[in-house]
């Protein structure tokens, strides 16, 4: 493979980092604003679940479509289009005048994120020399962690000083930087007219996630009406229809041949479980830290700073060690540290203080994520051939988005009064399962 100048490699990595960071912040920062949104727009907890999950739903269900679109139209073209859309829709979210309009605008924003996310990560595998890719993923992990560390802190400050609307304006400079980097660094590629997009698969993917999510959120909030039960049943039917169709379609949205690789299958299963635990816990902890323990939005945003600091400082080194010794033990033990950290944060109450009640659990949680994230991402990408980097990245990112989607939908099953305790235990179990899957099935080399 022809080598490109260092400056172009650096700019390509920067473009991947910036595009991914904008989408990740769309998932994480909004959790800090939920109490403020609830008060300002006068909406119940179920509607706040939809503010988070409306975005997660379209992000998770359309991300496979985004990966296919990147393979068909070219990574650079889709990157630039989706960054423009993300910028415009962030502005619309800031102008939302009701809970319903915010949910709708956030859902459409998730579609833009679904196009931007897989191409942002795929460019590392498709446009960098092979000997740089594992390190690039580690740099990507470290840099996005730093952005995500600053994001909640700045987002919480903006909520406290201005309004929840300001957190959506925070996306604008990131999207502008992403556009500049993508335009200058990414290589153009001709459209692949021989490839076709699997529209039926995309629709079935949306319907099965939408049906299950709708039923799990609206069921507990409304004493399980027939519509909620029917939505879950319909979602399950659409899931099996999706699997059936993808195995028979001539140009499937999901290439099941990728799952013949043991590491690819195991890593994506671990991704689904771990990100479900992380996303569900982040949603719960940010909300109840403010509403139960009385932390400000700024303080709640700062609570996760140790996690992001550890990721930012150590991810590169962890990625290097995982490349040298294999990812299994990093991906296997890391989730157990995450689970231990969440258990330590169970006794959240009005008298909780940061130093004694929050910091010890957060540090354990951060150690777990630092051990896991870089090896997890690198193994998922390295287990796929170069020509399928777009769809491989989309599958991994789709599962990373589907995990929080389902986890957040599950949080209301026991009612608001039990949401934190039940939700955290669900997340603990999911993290432990992620560790067990990695220890059992992941190996150093592709199988």
pLDDT tens-digit readout, 160-195? 989 999 999 888 888 999 999 988 888 877 666 666
The band of 402, judged by pLDDT with boundaries at 50, 70 and 90, is confident
More confident position, 388 or 332: 332
Provide CB contacts within 8 A for 100, sequence distance 6+: none
**What's the CA gap between 180 and 188, in Å, rounded?**
15
Q: What is the pLDDT of residue 414?
A: 65
The first and second tokens of residue 23, run together, are: 């989408």
Q: Kindly tell me if the per-residue pLDDT of 254 is higher than 90.
A: no
Instruction: Find tokens 């493979």 and name the residue.
Output: 1
pLDDT tens-digit readout, 345-371? 998 888 889 998 999 999 999 999 999
**Domain range annotation of the chain:** 6-197+253-441, 198-252
pLDDT tens-digit readout, 266-297? 999 999 999 899 888 988 888 889 888 889 98
**Under 8 Å between Cβ of 53 and 217:** yes
pLDDT tens-digit readout, 134-164? 778 777 877 776 776 677 788 888 889 899 9
The first and second tokens of residue 190, run together, are: 């001709």
More confident position, 294 or 391: 294
- Residues 292-320 have a mean pLDDT of 84
**What's the CA gap between 75 and 82, in Å, rounded?**
11
Percent of the chain with pLDDT over 70: 93
Provide CB contacts within 8 A for 251, sequence distance 6+: 195, 196, 197, 198
**What's the CA gap between 53 and 405, in Å, rounded?**
6
Q: What is the pLDDT of residue 387?
A: 66
Q: How many CB atoms lie within 10 A of CB 441?
A: 18
The band of 1, judged by pLDDT with boundaries at 50, 70 and 90, is very low
Q: What is the pLDDT of residue 11?
A: 87
Q: What is the pLDDT of residue 70?
A: 77
- Residues 21-32 have a mean pLDDT of 80
pLDDT tens-digit readout, 50-92? 898 888 888 888 877 777 787 778 888 889 999 999 999 999 9
Q: What is the pLDDT of residue 361?
A: 95
CA-based nearest residue to 114, from 143, 141, 79, 152? 79
Q: Kindly tell me if the per-residue pLDDT of 23 is higher than 50.
A: yes
Q: Using CB atoms within 10 A of its CB, is residue 7 exposed (0-12), middle (13-18) or buried (19+)?
A: exposed
Q: What is the pLDDT of residue 242?
A: 92
Q: What is the pLDDT of residue 71?
A: 73
Most confident of 204-218, 232-246, 365-379: 232-246
Q: What is the pLDDT of residue 389?
A: 66
Percent of the chain with pLDDT over 90: 29
Second CATH level (architecture) for the domain 6-197+253-441: Up-down Bundle (1.20)
- Residues 299-328 have a mean pLDDT of 83
Q: What is the pLDDT of residue 447?
A: 40
Phi-psi label, residue 224: left if phi above 0, alpha if psi -120 to 50, beta otherwise:
left
**What's the CA gap between 173 and 168, in Å, rounded?**
10
Q: What is the pLDDT of residue 268?
A: 92
* Cα 79 to chain centroid, rounded: 17
**What's the CA gap between 207 and 213, in Å, rounded?**
10
Q: How far apart are the first and last CA of the chain?
A: 24
């Amino acid at each position: 493979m022809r080598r490109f100048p260092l400056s172009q490699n650096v700019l390509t990595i920067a473009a991947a980092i910036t595009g991914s960071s904008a989408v990740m912040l769309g998932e994480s920062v909004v959790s800090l604003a939920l109490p403020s949104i609830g008060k300002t727009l006068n909406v119940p907890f179920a509607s706040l679940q939809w503010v988070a999950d409306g975005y997660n739903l379209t992000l998770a269900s359309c991300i496979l479509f985004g990966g296919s679109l990147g393979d068909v139209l070219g990574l650079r073209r889709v990157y630039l289009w989706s960054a423009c859309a993300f910028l415009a829709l962030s502005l619309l979210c800031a102008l939302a005048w009701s809970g319903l309009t915010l949910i709708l605008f956030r859902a459409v924003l998730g579609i833009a994120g679904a196009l931007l996310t897989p191409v942002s990560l795929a460019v590392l595998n498709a446009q960098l020399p092979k000997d740089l890719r594992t390190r690039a993923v580690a740099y990507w992990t470290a840099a996005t962690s730093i952005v995500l560390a600053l994001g909640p802190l700045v987002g919480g400050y903006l909520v406290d000083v201005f309004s929840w609307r300001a957190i959506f304006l925070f996306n604008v400079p990131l999207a502008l930087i992403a556009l500049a980097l993508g335009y200058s660094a990414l290589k153009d590629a001709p459209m692949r007219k021989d490839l076709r997009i699997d529209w039926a698969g995309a629709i079935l993917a949306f319907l099965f996630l939408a049906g299950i999510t709708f039923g799990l959120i609206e069921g507990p909030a409304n004493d399980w009406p027939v519509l909620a039960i029917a939505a879950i049943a319909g979602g399950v039917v659409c899931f099996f229809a999706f699997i059936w169709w993808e195995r028979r379609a001539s140009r499937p949205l999901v290439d099941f041949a990728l799952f013949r690789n043991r590491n690819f299958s195991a890593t994506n299963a671990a991704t689904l479980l771990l990100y479900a635990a992380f996303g569900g816990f982040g949603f719960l902890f940010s909300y109840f830290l403010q509403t139960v323990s009385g932390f400000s939005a700024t303080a709640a945003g700062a609570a996760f700073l140790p996690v992001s600091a550890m990721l930012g400082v150590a991810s590169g080194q962890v990625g290097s060690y995982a490349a040298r010794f294999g990812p299994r033990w990093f991906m296997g033990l890391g989730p157990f540290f995450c689970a231990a950290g969440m258990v330590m944060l169970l006794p959240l109450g009005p008298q909780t203080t940061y130093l004694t009640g929050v910091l010890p659990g957060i540090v354990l949680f951060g150690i777990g994520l630092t051990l896991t994230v870089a090896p997890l991402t690198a193994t998922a990408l390295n287990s796929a051939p170069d020509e399928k980097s777009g769809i491989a990245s989309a599958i991994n990112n789709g599962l990373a988005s589907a995990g929080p989607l389902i986890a957040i939908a599950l949080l209301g099953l026991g009612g608001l009064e039990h949401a934190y305790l039940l939700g955290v235990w669900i997340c603990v179990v999911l993290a432990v399962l992620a560790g067990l899957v990695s220890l059992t099935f992941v190996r150093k080399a592709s199988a």
